[in-house]
Amino acid sequence: MTSALPEFDGWLRATVERTTAVLDELLPQPAESDPVQLHAAMRHAVLGPGKRVRAALVLAAGEASRSAGGPPDVLDVALDNAAAAVELIHAYSLVHDDLPCMDDDDLRRGQPTVHRRYGEALAMLAGDALQPLAFACLAQMPIAPALVVQAVQLLARAAGSQGMVGGQAIDCAHTGHAMSVAALQQMHRMKTGALLEASVLLGGVVAGASSTARTGLEAYALAMGLAFQVVDDILDVTGNADTLGKTPGKDAALGKPTYVSTLGLAESRSLLASLHDQAQAALLPLGPAAGRLRELSDFIIGRSS
């Protein structure tokens, strides 16, 4: 699948740089503030070479939903804050997911996991500290207070026991047990999909999306949230450590139910194609302003890392 807009790669690179710069600014500098090791561990968790897909979804959804009113540069600051906030929650989830009590992984983003480099206790605390930082970041958005509250509620729900953490709990409980396709889908909608969905919806809320735009964004977000995990499960059996930046084959080794173990590779690929179609169809009412979201769905579905 190719990008409709030739400059998509450049836009994505700029998004990664822009979000990483915002995160760099937000995170305490170890040399300047105690506890030095905790701050170093937080920076290691967040500033590694992530794809920043969630940040890109926030910014692209913001671009698709901008309504009249409000200075554009002020809105850009708010969208940057929202993008950084979801990346902080995502980074914390990866740190905790890699811990010995969860997946016990050595490699993340091509680097040693946080607990391998800083020890288990600091890795847990670094993940803990990233969560309030994310909400502080949302609280700083220069937009109407009612929208800030909506954004905080959205992210809190997506990250909590009815979203990402709940999905992880279901995942832990089912290791070594087969799952029905419906149960697998529900688990992944919570574990991985909820934060990706929230990224899209946050962009819409912050940019003041119309109700038509919000409906389109919701359907797009649902399809892309699921698609992301289907790709991840396919890459876990077809990818290698060099391109993935993490250990492949881990799910099978841990006895975790995945789309590939439940549906097989061919059916997982056809589910992916159907989710891609659903995502593209959902964007039709948003018109050309949703160009970046369209390209992001191509990118997420075609990714190899």
**Contacts to ligand GRG by CB under 6 A:** 50-51, 53, 90, 93-94, 96-97, 102, 109, 164-165, 168, 191-192, 229, 232
- Measure the CA–CA gap between 103 and 47, rounded to whole angstroms: 21
Instruction: Please identify, using beta-carbon distances, which residue of 131 and 280 lies nearer to ligand GRG.
Output: 131
Residue 25 CB, nearest distance to ligand GRG (Å)?
Answer: 19
Euclidean distance between the first and the last CA atom of the chain, given in angstroms as a whole number:
15
Instruction: Please identify, using beta-carbon distances, which residue of 286 and 295 lies nearer to ligand GRG.
Output: 295
Q: How far is CA 59 from CA 12, 145, 233, 234, 248, in A?
A: 10, 20, 26, 27, 30
Instruction: Please identify, using beta-carbon distances, which residue of 109 and 292 lies nearer to ligand GRG.
Output: 109
Residue 69 CB, nearest distance to ligand GRG (Å)?
Answer: 33
Q: Please, are residues 19 and 87 in contact by the beta-carbon 8 Å criterion?
A: yes
Residue 3 CB, nearest distance to ligand GRG (Å)?
Answer: 18
Instruction: Please identify, using beta-carbon distances, which residue of 125 and 213 lies nearer to ligand GRG.
Output: 125
Residue 217 CB, nearest distance to ligand GRG (Å)?
Answer: 19
Residue 102 CB, nearest distance to ligand GRG (Å)?
Answer: 6
Instruction: Please identify, using beta-carbon distances, which residue of 77 and 170 lies nearer to ligand GRG.
Output: 170
Cis peptide before 35 (omega within 30 of 0): yes
- Which strand (E) or helix (H) includes residue 112? strand 111-112
Residue 305 CB, nearest distance to ligand GRG (Å)?
Answer: 7
Instruction: Please identify, using beta-carbon distances, which residue of 66 and 276 lies nearer to ligand GRG.
Output: 276
Q: Which residue is nearest to ligand GRG (CB)?
A: 50
Q: How many CB atoms within 10 Å of residue 235?
A: 18
- Measure the CA–CA gap between 207 and 74, rounded to whole angstroms: 10
Residue 228 CB, nearest distance to ligand GRG (Å)?
Answer: 6
Hey, what's the torsion of the CAs at 174, 180, 181, 187, to 10 degrees? -30
How many Å is the maximal CA-CA distance in the chain? Answer: 53
The C-alpha R_g of the chain, in whole angstroms, comes to: 18
Instruction: Please identify, using beta-carbon distances, which residue of 65 and 168 lies nearer to ligand GRG.
Output: 168
Q: Please, are residues 249 and 103 in contact by the beta-carbon 8 Å criterion?
A: no
For residue 266, which of 302, 295, 237, 290 has the smallest C-alpha distance?
Answer: 237
